[in-house]
Amino acid sequence: MTYPERVLRVAHMKRSKCTTLAIHHRPGSFSDRWIEYCTENSIRYDLVNCYDSDIIQHLRSCAAFLWHWNHYDCRARLFARQLTYSLEAAGKLVFPNSRTCWHFDDKVGQKYLLEAIGAPLVPSYVFYDEEEAMEWAGATDYPKVFKLRGGAGSSNVLLVRTRSEAARLIRKAFGAGFSPINRRASLRDSISAFHHCRTHHTARGLIGALFRCVIPGDIERRMGRERGYVYFQDFIPGNKHDTRVVVIGNRAFAFQREVRRNDFRASGSGSTILDRKKIDTEFIRLAYEVSRRLNLQSTAYDFIRDESRGPHLIEMSYAFPANGQVAKCPGHWDGNLKWHDGKMWPQDAILEDMLAQIAVRSAEGI
């Protein structure tokens, strides 16, 4: 959207009576910037607490509701999707909407979805029966990649080199199960982050991770164990980085994430490259294709290439760090893959798309 269009849209929002946005504020999430944007642009908004039992009543007069909930928000995971669906049934606009969030933090759900639309997902295998999984593990080739369905920052992603390693994981998956929080992996990442850059922030992270190694956190206790299924992917070797593409409406932001040293995993490495010339625009095209096909509001896609340069999608996610790399990208590609200079908060892009939808609805008298 050009600058005058943005100004006009915001001006329209100020005039319209039906502008009430409801925001659930979680400090450190997208809501910090949403509130700032509304204040800067004199847009009316209400702060609501979506944990209130009468939240539906509170939201009765609002046009749209925004809530950035994330992976490790145990309370949100109990009902965020249900609340979203219910508000949509009442005709409200919601961010994230059901289409955008039902597969969030669920790699198994994404496997079915991406296969169903013919997206180039890394060949993936899921089993709900130990014997079947063992049979497959005995016949397949290695290495493979083992993953839990949830998690972030590569914490629940492992390279499986041999049949016996796969068998051990399968037995555990159908036995004691796995903790959704990998304490050892987060300690390793915290040590490496501290080595890389010694700040109060990384020191606090390291102390927290050391503490968590001894005493499991509340999140881990509440989330329960992952068991009763096992999920593998073909291992795509030779990638020094993955490419994250974030599509929000008609804007695609992209950057590369370098893999950790002596490792194959990029997510959570903390080392990113923001040079737009290095971005493979085929990934941008594919990301737009999936977003359009599924009609998604805002989604981050992670891509790699195989040895014959074929593109592979690893996973998709509506939520990403509020102060992460997207806002640092020097510009974005529009839906025609035309580059536009200029940094932008992803939170602004999400909110502006929402405001545009409200404006269309109010013009149509909805």
- Residue 6's SS3 state is helix
Query: What distances in angstroms separate CA 262 from CA 71, 148, 154, 192, one per listed residue?
Result: 27, 22, 14, 13
According to DSSP, residue 181 is labeled: S
CA distance 302 to 44: 35
CA distance 358 to 353: 9
Instruction: Please report whether residue 330 would count as binding ligand ADP according to CB under 6 A.
Output: no
Minimum gap (Å) between residue 49 Cβ and ligand ADP: 29
> Among the candidate windows 83-91, 95-103, 151-159, 166-174, which touches ligand ADP by CB under 6 A?
151-159
Given Mg ion, ligand ADP, none, residue 332, with its beta carbon under 5 to 8 Å by kind, binds none
Interface with ligand ADP: number of residues (CB under 6 A):
24
Minimum gap (Å) between residue 72 Cβ and ligand ADP: 12
Give the number of other CB atoms < 10 A from CB of residue 242.
Answer: 24
> Among the candidate windows 93-101, 149-157, 165-173, 203-211, which touches ligand ADP by CB under 6 A?
149-157
Which 264-303 positions form the footprint of ligand ADP (CB under 6 A)? 264-267, 302
What is the CA angle 173-178-179, rounded to 5?
A: 165
Minimum gap (Å) between residue 127 Cβ and Mg ion: 22
Instruction: Please report whether residue 121 would count as binding ligand ADP according to CB under 6 A.
Output: no
- Smaller CB distance to Mg ion: residue 303 or 333? 303
Instruction: Please report whether residue 160 would count as binding ligand ADP according to CB under 6 A.
Output: no
DSSP 3-state percent helix, strand, coil across the chain (nearest 5): 40, 20, 40
Instruction: Please report whether residue 105 would count as binding Mg ion according to CB under 5 A.
Output: no
> Among the candidate windows 8-16, 227-235, 321-329, 349-357, which touches ligand ADP by CB under 6 A?
227-235
Question: Can you tell me which of 157, 173, 284, 354 binds ligand ADP, judged by CB under 6 A?
Answer: 157
Instruction: Please report whether residue 355 would count as binding ligand ADP according to CB under 6 A.
Output: no
CA distance 135 to 71: 32
- Smaller CB distance to Mg ion: residue 272 or 357? 272
Instruction: Please report whether residue 353 would count as binding Mg ion according to CB under 5 A.
Output: no
What is the CA angle 94-99-105, rounded to 5?
A: 100
Helices (H), 90-147: 98-101, 107-116, 130-139
Cβ distance 266 to 259 under 8 Å? yes
Question: Can you tell me which of 314, 319, 326, 355 binds ligand ADP, judged by CB under 6 A?
Answer: 314
Minimum gap (Å) between residue 319 Cβ and ligand ADP: 11
Given ligand ADP, Mg ion, none, residue 158, with its beta carbon under 5 to 8 Å by kind, binds none
Q: Token pair for residue 158?
A: 């492992």
According to DSSP, residue 217 is labeled: -
Of the candidates 24, 13, 47, 43, the one whose C-alpha atom is nearest the C-alpha of residue 358 is 13
| Most distant CA pair in the chain, distance | 66
CA distance 16 to 363: 9
Instruction: Please report whether residue 79 would count as binding ligand ADP according to CB under 6 A.
Output: no
Instruction: Tell me whether strands 21-24 and 45-48 are parallel, antiparallel or unpaired.
Output: parallel
- Smaller CB distance to ligand ADP: residue 65 or 104? 104
Given ligand ADP, Mg ion, none, residue 153, with its beta carbon under 5 to 8 Å by kind, binds ligand ADP
According to DSSP, residue 63 is labeled: S
- Cα 354 off chain centre by: 19
Given Mg ion, ligand ADP, none, residue 220, with its beta carbon under 5 to 8 Å by kind, binds none
Q: DSSP E strands: which ranges in the chain?
A: 21-24, 45-48, 64-66, 93-95, 124-127, 144-147, 157-160, 230-234, 241-248, 251-258, 272-273, 298-305, 311-317, 331-333, 339-341
- Smaller CB distance to ligand ADP: residue 39 or 323? 323
- Smaller CB distance to Mg ion: residue 242 or 353? 242
> Among the candidate windows 125-133, 230-238, 269-277, 307-315, which touches Mg ion by CB under 5 A?
307-315
Instruction: Please report whether residue 70 would count as binding Mg ion according to CB under 5 A.
Output: no
Question: Given the rule CB under 6 A, which residues bind ligand ADP?
Answer: 122, 145, 147, 151-155, 157, 233-236, 239, 242, 259, 264-267, 302, 304, 314-315
